Amino acid sequence: MEVVKIGFVKLGNIGTSRIVDLLLDERADREDIDVRVLGTGAKMTPENAADTARLLDWDPDVVVIISPNAALPGPKKAREMVKEKGKPCIVISDAPAKKAVDKLKEGGFG
């Protein structure tokens, strides 16, 4: 069985940040996925987002970036880093990010 490596980058905090990674394997009994999480606490600056490189060193198959207002510079930097590595990226955000939905789609982000 192939194991899919899923990386989560948590920048700042929205309600689902606390559990998003656990939704896939709450009891840790799935053998088809491996999950790693990088969190920056409440901070979400471009400097904090630079830590995304640590997660990318793990070479995940897909990266999920979760943050408030995905249009801000920190989340944008994290997405750009993931895109540069050629990894698929899923963006989870809140209502203020609605203004960036078209740009996210144009950039190839889900």
Rg, Å, the chain Cα set: 13
Domain count, the chain: 1
Contacts (Cβ under 8 Å, ≥6 apart) of 67: 10, 11, 12, 14, 17, 44, 74, 75, 78, 92, 93
For residue 68, the domain's CATH number is: 3.40.50.10830
Give pTM, 2 decimals.
Answer: 0.90
Boundaries of domain holding 48: 4-106
Query: What tokens does 52 get?
Result: 């995304």
10 has a pLDDT exceeding 90? yes
Query: pLDDT (tens digit, 9 = 90+) per residue, 15-35?
Result: 999 999 999 999 999 999 999
Query: pLDDT (tens digit, 9 = 90+) per residue, 31-71?
Result: 999 999 999 999 999 999 999 999 999 999 999 999 999 99
Confidence grade of residue 108 (pLDDT, cut at 50, 70, 90): confident
